[in-house]
Amino acid sequence: MKTQIGIIGAGPAGLLLSHLLARQGIDSIVLENQSRSYVENRVRAGVLEHGTVNLLTKVGLAERLRYKGLPHYGVEIRFNNKSHRIDFNELTNGAGIVIYGQQEIVKDLIKTRVKDGGEVLFEVSDVSICDPTRDTVKLKFRQKGKDHEIACDFIAGCDGFHGISRKCIPEENLSTFNREYPFAWLGVLVDAPPSAKELIYANSPNGFALHSMRSPSITRNYIQCNLNESITNWSDDRIWQALHDRLEIVPDWELIEGAILEKGITPMRSYVCETMRYGQLFLAGDAAHIVPPTGAKGMNLAISDVSYLSAAFTAWYQSKSEELLNNYAKNCLRHVWRGEHFSWYMTSLLHKFPHSSPFQEKLQLAEFEYLCHSNAASRSLAENYVGFRFK
């Protein structure tokens, strides 16, 4: 087999890259170790920045997003029995976000790639990259009991933090930065309508909580928990009590309960691999960087990466120009580090840290008060939340 771009991973990054390349007449093959049904129904967060929505619309992927997505023009922050709304519409000249699940984007992309004759191979195993420093690099894998090999000009590693792509880069060539947080998020998917029109971030004496939604009838709630907590220690009653205690800290507001459809615990990490290119191998999305979910940046940064990568591949095939290929990491990392900083800021602002001193707690409270009384501070948060774009 032969193609121009071999893509590892059929998440939003890999599938969108394949779609963007196809629009420029560039061939690709996407390899995915899970089944199509699995990736289309894998529930993930879905806060789409203003720029992400614009890109999906521009490239013909917004048909369902337009009627299923939930536009938001603000978020609410609760602390010290107060509430402060960050008004995106006012503070960012009409920009906003859209709630649209990652799995919905994946469904849209797979349907489009199949309709356009794109090659997306599911349920492959034993994927390996053969020496990415060669001019022609090979991908090897197994599917349905048979060994296969693809000769590629370039490979895009869009296979997540635990994928094989980054592991192909020798340790001595990697430049990485990492921070692990001393708490985790316990998330629950609930069969209940949202209790508010917009997302609610709450800093309470008992820890952080977030109320969000996936649709007009399904909500997603999160609570801060211990890093090594076991989900078996959290009964439904205990989860609801924690959510009520942490979210109902303002007058005349009640959380709507419902059947808990699923629950799980996610550790919090910040990670950046600045080595986003090694030979003919390019990393994108979670393969290169992870952010705490507090800032809602993960999928948006992945989409930013592949927009740069598709432009770089297009320039090379159209004019043999290597400038964008050589500057790929530099161009991506400006946005990655901005997203990392904002995610760190939101995480630091909203969570209770173990062993934090009264001095640190007072500093946190002072930052909340500043947000409430400074238009500039609120504008900065809004600008980052809807997606800051470098000129």
Q: 3.90.79.10, 3.10.110.10, 1.20.1440.230, 3.30.9.10: which CATH number matches 181-268+354-386?
A: 3.30.9.10
The whole-angstrom separation of Cα 9 and Cα 273 is: 18
Q: Which CATH superfamily is domain 5-46+101-175+274-345 in?
A: FAD/NAD(P)-binding domain (3.50.50.60)
In this prediction, residue 220 has a pLDDT band, given cuts at 50, 70 and 90, of very high
Higher pLDDT, 134 or 278: 278
Hey, which residues are catalytic here? 72, 201, 293, 297, 385
Beta strands 5-8 and 154-157 are parallel
Instruction: Place 101 in a pLDDT band, splitting at 50, 70 and 90.
Output: confident
Convert the pLDDT of each residue in 173-196 to its tens digit. 999 999 999 999 999 999 999 999
Query: By the 8 A CB rule, do 226 and 220 touch?
Result: no
pLDDT at residue 215 above 90? no
Which of 203, 183, 206 lies closest to 365 in space, CA to CA? Answer: 203
What is the model's pLDDT at position 26?
98
Mean pLDDT, range 77-104, rounded to an integer: 93
Q: What is the pLDDT of residue 389?
A: 79
Residue 391 has pLDDT above 80, yes or no: no
Give tens-digit pLDDT for 269-304.
999 999 999 999 999 999 999 999 999 999 999 999
Q: Using CB atoms within 10 Å of the CB of residue 155, give its burial: 0 to 12 exposed, 13 to 18 middle, 19+ buried.
A: buried
Cα 238 to chain centroid, rounded? 28
Percent of the chain past pLDDT 70, that is, above it, reads 100
Domain boundaries, the chain: 5-46+101-175+274-345, 181-268+354-386
Mean pLDDT value across residues 53-76: 94
Neighbours of 35 (CB within 10 A): 11
Contact 380, 386 (CB under 8 A): no
